[in-house]
Amino acid sequence: MNTDFLKDIIPYRCPKCGDSRKFTSLRDLKLHLNSEHAFKVGCVKPRSRTTIFDNKGHNSRKRTANRENLSRQWSSSYDSRRSSSESYGRESPLFQSYKDDARVLEGQLESAREYERNNRRQGNYLSRSHSYDPLDSTVNKLNKDVMSSRRNIWKSSDELYNAEDVLNGVETAAEERFKSQQNIIQNLVDELQQKDLQLTNANRDAERLRHDREKLMNEVEELFKSADFGNKKLLQELETKEQELNAVNNELDHIKQAASDELKHKDQKLIEAERSLQQIEYERKSLEDERENLIEKVQMDSGLLRKTLEMKENQVRKLNTELEAMKQEQNELLSESMELYNTADQGTSKLKDMLRLRDCQLREAEQELNNLKELNDRLVWESRQLTEQADSHSQVLHELLRQREDELALVKQELESTLQSDKPKPANEQLGQLQQIVLEKTAHLEQKEKYVCLAALS
């Protein structure tokens, strides 16, 4: 894994092609050098070599200046080249080839210098034990020796100049190659630093994502726990609400059964009252002409009472229908438990409306009772003139009417107190109270009907 990563970061590059050609392995680089750059490895470029050897026609001044500064320039350039090659160019094969060529040229230069020294020593050395030749022969010989030594010096100087130019070319090429290699290494170092920075950022992001994932997993677990707890709590609440609704349904069934029994009982009483009224009508036909108007008024009053009773029965039926509607709504609440309080509020509002309707009906009943009271007063005033028995019955009727008015006033006060109370009672209690009030009112109306019938009989 590490080698592949380093190959991706630091690929092999061709020393001649530069950054334009990159290789993934050293084998591919060697094949590329052998196939495309075989004539360039270990030697100097042909063009540079021709330029080096074409410099023979320069001035003698340049040669003398080069001859004087040769040792100093060579030592300084060699030291700088040696330090640079030791520090940076160890791994470059081209620089190694240049270095080998430079060593060969240095050896040749040293041999040329040694040869020149030997020539100088031989030219300056004269043995004393030598037998002197004639002057002409010695002059010619010396002239030949001087000319040969000068030729050798010129050859050595030319070779030295050529070697110096070659070394300068090699040095410039090596420096250029060193700069290019240094730039490549610097680019590789920058890329490596950038890759390291990207790797650290990626590791940091991965660590942060891991922490975020753990945090999210913990939050999800907490949410699941809270959801399970909420579901259990809701199930318990639903069970309690179902039990409450079952109890309410049982109570409503019981109330409905009681109301049906009471309605049957009322129907029987109404049948009996109708029979008694028929008998009263048959008996009153034999009365005097003066009482016919009274009987007709009483019949009209009885008709009004029947209408009121029918209205009450219709109201009771409406109440039963409303109770059935409420029962249906409560059955729907089993599937919609969250809307229980809204439906309860609707039930309370309906009950309030029903109570208001009952108040209006009670007021109408009071008005009717007042009308009946006036009629009874008039009948009493007329009956006083007829018989004392009618007077006694009228007094009893007045007393009973006053008692019923007091009872109605008390009922009205109780209803107002229940409506004006701050805390609204539950729907079940309000329904029970409403049923009781309706039953009491129906009982009072029945008693009033009986008293009216008795008054009519009297």
pLDDT tens digits along 224-239: 888 888 888 888 888 8
Verify that 299 and 436 share a domain, yes or no. yes
Q: Which of 26-30, 81-85, 330-334, 422-426 has the lowest mean pLDDT?
A: 81-85
16 is a domain residue: yes
Assess whether pLDDT exceeds 50 at residue 82: no
Last residue of a domain, one of 168, 189, 211: 211
275 is a domain residue: no
Verify that 346 and 430 share a domain, yes or no. yes
Domain holding 351, by residue range, is 287-457
Give the whole-angstrom CA distance, residue 458 versus residue 395: 12
Residue-level pLDDT at 423: 46
Verify that 207 and 71 share a domain, yes or no. yes
Kindly report, residue by residue over 360-379, the tens digit of the pLDDT: 877 887 788 788 778 777 77
Q: Do 404 and 448 contact (CB within 8 A), yes or no?
A: yes
Verify that 205 and 348 share a domain, yes or no. no
Assess whether pLDDT exceeds 80 at residue 212: yes
Assess whether pLDDT exceeds 80 at residue 190: yes
Q: Do 19 and 184 contact (CB within 8 A), yes or no?
A: yes
Verify that 296 and 443 share a domain, yes or no. yes
Verify that 54 and 158 share a domain, yes or no. yes
Residue-level pLDDT at 222: 86
Assess whether pLDDT exceeds 80 at residue 58: no
Residue-level pLDDT at 75: 46
182 is a domain residue: yes
Assess whether pLDDT exceeds 70 at residue 323: yes
Last residue of a domain, one of 194, 211, 228: 211
272 is a domain residue: no
224 is a domain residue: no
Please count the other Cβ atoms lying within 10 Å of the Cβ belonging to residue 102. Answer: 20
Residue reference for tokens 């060593």: 103
Residue-level pLDDT at 53: 39
Q: Which of 121-130, 133-142, 317-326, 331-340 has the lowest mean pLDDT?
A: 121-130
Report the share of the chain in percent with pLDDT over 70: 57
Give the whole-angstrom CA distance, residue 209 versus residue 206: 5
Please give the model's pTM, rounded to 2 decimal places. Answer: 0.23
Last residue of a domain, one of 155, 179, 211: 211
Give the whole-angstrom CA distance, residue 149 versus residue 116: 9
Verify that 175 and 311 share a domain, yes or no. no
Assess whether pLDDT exceeds 70 at residue 79: no
Q: What is the number of structural domains in the chain? A: 2
Q: Do 380 and 391 contact (CB within 8 A), yes or no?
A: yes
**Looking at per-residue confidence, does 26 or 429 come out higher?**
26
Average pLDDT for the chain: 70
Residue-level pLDDT at 140: 63
Verify that 95 and 194 share a domain, yes or no. yes
Verify that 201 and 305 share a domain, yes or no. no
Verify that 55 and 152 share a domain, yes or no. yes
434 is a domain residue: yes
370 is a domain residue: yes
Kindly report, residue by residue over 368-414, the tens digit of the pLDDT: 878 877 877 777 777 677 667 656 666 766 777 777 677 767 777 77
Confidence category of residue 275, pLDDT binned at 50, 70, 90? confident
Confidence category of residue 130, pLDDT binned at 50, 70, 90? very low
Assess whether pLDDT exceeds 60 at residue 96: yes
253 is a domain residue: no
Residue-level pLDDT at 437: 67
